[in-house]
Amino acid sequence: MHRFLRAVGFSNITTKQDMDKLLGITMDKPSVSKQILSKDGRKITELSREFAHNTGLTVRGEYDKLGFFHVDHYFPYCYSSLITMRTEVTINRRVDTSAFTGMCDDIRMAVSVIFYLQNSVDYIKLNFTDNTPHRANLALSGLSLTGRILLGIEKTDDSIERLRHETRMKRQLIIQAKNGDQDAIDNLTLDEIDLSGQLMKRIMTEDLYSIVDSTFIPYGSESDNYMIIGTILNWSLTTNPYTNEDVFQLLINCNDVVMNISINRKDLEGEPMIGRRFKGVIWMQGHADFISTSLV
């Protein structure tokens, strides 16, 4: 069983028979169906069924010459209609399945963002070469198996404006440092030393989560898993009609990057509210729209 099924309301899928039944429902009445003919004549097919708002199950496989569908793999998804970033995205085929992993660099995250590509069929259709950057509109989302609600940090208008100014200056220094500017590299190093010293002083009298407002850190051995802390911009509670399980969908601002997170109500500690923060481990997914950007 895919371990993130419970994040979209399928915590009761525990046997192969249960999974086969769920796959059958998805394939019989998909909400979205995509199919392309590969160069070697294979009918690569992607069938997705939305069980609750913006969440569901996608099945990928092939039809043979007799019309029988052979499942290659499946995955639960959380869809986001908000464009997270417009950037160069590099796609590579995964080793274990015919699925794809995307990677992009965003200065707001300070690390390369790796995600599971939701719309692989769209990518295959374009006949792009793997491991080659292509510009795309990217919508990021995530599935979480465990999370906690934290209180927000109170901020004044002056502190918000000062933080915005400092963030802009730091991002400019990072861009200059990537281009080989030694002065920018030295300034960033000194800033990190000063920040470390301030942190050591404040941690003696303040709670860690009153100091750390937002984080985005790679987690574990899976390259597309991250531990995040982000501010809740909006939230909703939906019910999976197949299982009657409640699922929270949280719109999160993490390091100025907005993403949609889905988590089973049973796995979330605390009550979400706008302005509070979400802390948890997520499996990052992304929908890359290469077609629209190629027309610009």
pLDDT at 1: 55
User: What is the number of structural domains in the chain?
Assistant: 1
Q: Is residue 52 part of a domain?
A: no
Q: Is residue 196 part of a domain?
A: yes
Q: Is residue 187 part of a domain?
A: yes
**Tens-digit pLDDT string for the chain (296 aa):** 588 999 999 999 889 999 999 999 999 999 999 988 877 777 889 999 999 999 999 999 888 777 788 888 999 999 998 888 888 999 998 876 778 999 998 777 777 899 999 999 888 888 888 888 889 999 999 999 999 999 988 777 777 777 776 677 776 776 677 778 788 777 778 877 887 787 788 778 777 778 788 889 999 888 899 999 999 999 999 999 999 999 999 999 998 899 999 999 999 999 999 999 999 999 999 999 986 444 34
Q: Is residue 197 part of a domain?
A: yes
Q: Is residue 63 part of a domain?
A: no
Q: In which domain, by residue range, is 172 found?
A: 156-211
Q: Is residue 255 part of a domain?
A: no
Q: Is residue 161 part of a domain?
A: yes
Structure tokens given for 172: 């400019």
pLDDT at 65: 77
